[in-house]
Amino acid sequence: MLNRLARYEFSERLADLLGESRRDLRFRVTLMVTGGLVAPGPRGRGSPPATPQYAAQLLIGAMAAPQQAQTVEAIRCYEDLQPAAVAPGGNTPRVLFGPALATADGDEQPAAAIRLDGMRFGEALAQLLELACAEETRPIVAGELFGVWINRGCPVASLQFSAWWQGRRAVFSHTYGLAPGAAPPAWLDPQRGGLVDPGLFHSVFLPVRKLIEIGSLTTLSDDRRNPMLNKLGHKMAAIANMAKLAAKTPHGSRWEKLLSTLASVKAWSDQVDTQESRLREVSAFGSNPGELTMYTYLPASLPANAPLVVVLHGCTQSAASYNKGSGWSTVADRHGFALLFPQQQWNNNPLRCFNWFRPEDNERERGEAQSIAQMVDRMVAEYGIDRRRVFVTGTSSGGAMTSVMLASYPEVFAAGAVIAGVPYRTAKGLQEGLESIFQGRSRSGPEWGALVRAASPHQGPWPRLSVWHGDADTAVKPVNAEELIKQWADVHGLDSRPSVEMRVDGYPRRVWQGADGEELIESYTITGMSHGAALDPGPEPHQCGTAAPFFNAVGISSTHRIAEFWGLLAERPADARAPAAEAAADAQSRAGSPAQAADGTTGAAGPEPHSAGSASPGDRGEPLLRKEPAREAGNEHAEAADGAQAAGRQSMGLDVHGIISASLQAAGLLKPGSRPRSSAPLGIDVPGIISTALEAAGVLKGGAQRSSPFHAGRFSPETLRSAGWEGAGWDLLHDDPRAFRGGSMLYGHASSGDSGAVGARAQSISRRVTLGPRPELSYVRRLDLSAAVNDYTSASFRVLVDGIVVDEVTAIGMVHQENEWLRQSAVDLARFANRQVTLTLEVAAYANIYSTVYAKAWVDQVTISNAVEAAAHC
């Protein structure tokens, strides 16, 4: 048993987390002991440890009891609350996020891993704290639990879980109430002297992040005959079992850490898998001895004799999640080539890793390697793929499997790219595999090369190779990249020393050239990067992908650079132009003049993907809610900030974002030219995060950035219309201190159930916008949706385009409050491309009785990237 905190020490830490007095919590502990809830024990070294069961009782006492003296009675009452039964077809309180996603018939949503069926509230809360205490299950709690809610004015509590419901992300409330015949606490029972005090009887909410912090302070009991871990799905249980086995190996601690990280990767991958996928599953591609699943992606207009890229995911990832993270389908759309995504199955490997270390799967015409080769044959036969231009890449276990495919089927692949992988035949079996990734295996070049030459009857020419690895990778030791280079340098007959060394986007790149100067091997070392693939998320032609676990936004796109190394970017199909070039051409055609590139020539951009072309409205996020520029003296530097960044956000006086960016670059913490953008899909905008944090802390005031006097107020409806918005129930708040970064913001309010009016009530504003070929919407918001009257009342906020919901939050029988600004980035509007549309913001409320239900929304920085034309800005 790992002794973490004693009971009294735990009470002090709990007080800090809850924002309560330490003396208050210590006294409640004393009451629990004197009341017989917990056994007394000595203080100091012999003090009993704080177990999850003890923590659940103290947490209930702190949350449910309005006064200290009521602690013991509150614990006994709320701990015994029974789960409320939901009748078949009944309405469950819930909050829905986002529009419904189209799913194929028969698709099932993933089952929840946490199951608390039949447990009383106290027991269920203790089990959640136990899961939060264990490292291997903590990511499950973070991924599935939303929070804990307790009502002090009525013996009711709920556990709120995040799940998927009819293709939508949702938060469900599992409600607990008094058992039939049970009496409420004395302070709520008038027959026992209860006195209603409205000032005390409010509801208390504990978010999941705080519950996880509380659980991590507890101590697991030695008596775990029925651990909650056994109630989890087989996938997570398998991960936990592998952690127990690995603990006995020399690399047990590193393996356990990796498994804990993989649980987070799996949670994100599962979330992506529930969304609409761009990939299509293909069956009947051969005997499939490796029992893999085949997915494909084909651009809308695939040219004849197109290239093919085989993409292999990493452990706990899926084909769809790897595609979303890496952005391969985005690059395929731009440059016209086909994609093949082999996917591992859970029953083949408990972590869904490709079995690169097993001889039955890493040899020619055997197992998983043969299955992948059969998939390639199917693609070539069905789509007329150019056999001379078939490539393969992968990350982690997918990178190791890439080494397998290049060695065992070298005649199939023109080139490959291994990201955070290992050399071919570095291991035979799982134990050697662990040794290889955690410490590496050193062999001479000829020894490594002999393993490749013996894997097939092929005599050459050999595939070219791109190698990527982070030098801070603790999951797969970076020495594996050097051994991999040694292996293929020997196969190609090259010197061990590189022919050329340079820096690309701030990172070292080495090149090994053949006798004719052809680049046969390249290597990128991403300094400071941990395990995973290097990304540069964003809308630019050289950017793609989504930052996520094992997908690191470091300012360089491995996907784009690999495709460039393979020659896939040399020729661009006419209908696969980059978004910026396409929008510029559209804008120029309306003006009656041809599009002109940066070098003065007419037509497509130059060959250098990072060359700066002339900007057009389609290149940038078009702000529909614009801040007024400040007129401060000495602000010339802020007004002359980087053009690409200024195009995406309006100047608001002092360019704090630009100042922080310049400071970070001067300190070497941010690479020049990386141009972090807040509108990039899940990109990491470090300066934006810092400046927003300063504002939230009160160190930096949005209003203080403005030289004009502060006047908070509403614009008239006429002003709102002149800004391009029309409708009712919404206001344009001017110089409001609650605005995201000062200036103006939109505020909408709708209510039902008050003033003698029930039923559906909605308020909306709209404006017309002309969209380009690849439009995306982003905005920041704060919501207050109050619909906890009964299980049928609702409050919602929706964003619609031509009457179709593109983003939504709806609370049904629940309260949903966003106390901090939330940025919604990269809402895809591709279905409305190249046409004029109506963008609508709507708040709505529905009450079936005379009790107020309301929806309030504060919206700022409404931006549409690739918007060709919009109405007058506000």
Which residues are paired to 511 by β-bridges?
500, 522
Side chain identity at residue 462, one-letter code: W
User: Comparing 79-93, 361-375, 520-534, 699-713, which segment has the lowest mean pLDDT?
Assistant: 699-713
pLDDT at 738 over 80: no
The residue with tokens 């100042």 is: 659
The answer to whether 216 is a known catalytic residue is no
Contact 746, 733 (CB under 8 A): yes
H or E stretch including 235?
helix 234-246
pLDDT at 681 over 50: no
Q: Residue 515, exposed/middle/buried by CB under 10 A (0-12, 13-18, 19+)?
A: exposed
In the chain, what percentage of residues exceed pLDDT 70? 72
User: Comparing 170-179, 315-324, 365-374, 505-514, which segment has the lowest mean pLDDT?
Assistant: 170-179
For the stretch 227-261, pLDDT in tens is 444 444 444 445 555 555 555 555 555 666 676 67
For the stretch 93-119, pLDDT in tens is 888 888 876 544 444 445 566 778 789
Tell me how far apart the alpha carbons of residues 162 and 433 are, in angstroms, rounded to a whole number. 36
Q: Determine the pLDDT at residue 670.
A: 52
Q: Determine the pLDDT at residue 653.
A: 35
Q: Is the peptide bond before 672 cis (omega within 30 degrees of 0)?
A: no
Q: DSSP for 724-758? A: T-EEESEEEEES-TTSBTBS-EEEEEEEESSTT--
> Mean pLDDT, the chain, as a whole number?
78
Pairing state of beta strands 730-734 and 713-714? antiparallel
Q: Determine the pLDDT at residue 286.
A: 92
Q: Determine the pLDDT at residue 268.
A: 82
Q: Which residues contact 680 (CB under 8 A, 6 or more apart)?
A: 537, 538, 539, 543, 553, 825, 826
User: In 3-state terms, the chain is what percent helix, strand and coil (to 5)?
Assistant: 30, 25, 45
pLDDT at 280 over 90: yes
Q: Determine the pLDDT at residue 815.
A: 85
In the chain, what percentage of residues exceed pLDDT 90? 41
Q: Determine the pLDDT at residue 696.
A: 45
Tell me how far apart the alpha carbons of residues 377 and 641 are, in angstroms, rounded to a whole number. 52
User: Comparing 34-43, 268-277, 653-662, 858-867, which segment has the lowest mean pLDDT?
Assistant: 653-662
pLDDT at 407 over 50: yes
Nearest C-alpha neighbor of 618 from the set 769, 832, 774: 774
H or E stretch including 762?
strand 759-786
Contact 503, 509 (CB under 8 A): yes
For the stretch 319-342, pLDDT in tens is 999 999 999 999 999 999 999 999
The single residue of 318, 329, 396, 751 carrying the catalytic annotation is 396
Nearest-Å Rg of the Cα atoms of the chain is 30
Give the pLDDT band of residue 85 (cuts 50, 70, 90): low
Give the pLDDT band of residue 288 (cuts 50, 70, 90): very high
Q: Determine the pLDDT at residue 291.
A: 93
For the stretch 788-842, pLDDT in tens is 888 789 999 999 999 999 999 999 988 888 877 888 877 888 889 889 999 999 9
Q: Which residue has the higher pLDDT, 628 or 61?
A: 61
Which residues are paired to 203 by β-bridges?
151
Q: Residue 668, exposed/middle/buried by CB under 10 A (0-12, 13-18, 19+)?
A: exposed
Q: Residue 26, exposed/middle/buried by CB under 10 A (0-12, 13-18, 19+)?
A: middle
CA dihedral 348→353→357→359, nearest 10 degrees, is 30
Helices (H), 640-685: 643-648, 656-666
Contact 171, 100 (CB under 8 A): no
Q: Which residue has the higher pLDDT, 466 or 624?
A: 466
pLDDT at 539 over 80: yes
Nearest C-alpha neighbor of 487 from the set 496, 500, 499: 496
